[in-house]
Amino acid sequence: MVEPRAIPAGAPRRPLDDAAFATLLQSHEAAVRGLLRRLCTFPNDADDLLQETWTKVWRLRASFDPAGNALAWLQQAAFRCFCDHRRRERRTPRTNGGHHDLVGRDPAAAEWRDEVRHRLAVLAPLERDLLLGFHGGGRSLRELAAEHGLPVNTAKSHLHRARRRLQSGGGRAP
């Protein structure tokens, strides 16, 4: 095992060159994309935010400390981009009750929307409320559990079952 180099306090930092910084971004892309996909309702939003994050950190690469935690720095930048995205969304309301307006542009989107509505309709009301509140409304499990008078772990179980039923096409979970 290689011991980390001790950098004396006050020693000047040497920024990474462009190629090394690009390699650093590539090595952490999956982790940052995963964070954004967990935060965003729509996968396309996560992909857009990843590009926005990369653009911002590339502009700020001179301020990056190679001795620090690169993943933490990148995830913090991604989270800030996500927060900015949410603020912009609140200022410009979307059509279709808060969902992307896909139907007018793509006939397959209307079919997809109908399939999602059907799958949501076959869920138990509690599971549907938890699923939509957590993924669609951005509410915490603790908040939803309190609203429904459930322990947090029970709410997690209901949410997990709802996800499985949605993926399997509805009905009873396997």
**Cα dihedral: 150, 156, 159, 161 (round 10):** -110
Distance (Å, whole) CA 77 – CA 71: 10
Find the helix or strand (DSSP H, E) in which 147 lies: helix 141-148
Q: Which residue has the tokens 């279709």?
A: 96
Residue 93 has pLDDT above 60, yes or no: no
Are 158 and 150 a contacting pair, CB within 8 Å? Answer: yes
H-run or E-run covering 167: helix 152-168
pLDDT value, residue 152? 87
- CATH number corresponding to 18-91: 1.10.1740.10
**Is the model's pTM score more than 0.85?**
no
Contact yes or no for 96/103 (Cβ under 8 A): yes
CA angle 53, 32, 42 (to 5 degrees): 80
Averaged pLDDT for residues 69-96: 82
More confident residue, 107 or 173: 107
Q: Give yes or no for residue 32 having a pLDDT over 90.
A: yes
What value does the mean pLDDT take over residues 50-61?
93
Helix (H) or strand (E) holding 15: none
pLDDT band at 30 (very low <50, low <70, confident <90, very high): very high
Q: 121 is written with which tokens?
A: 């309709």
pLDDT beyond 60 at 2:
no
| Residue extents of the structural domains in the chain | 18-91, 123-168
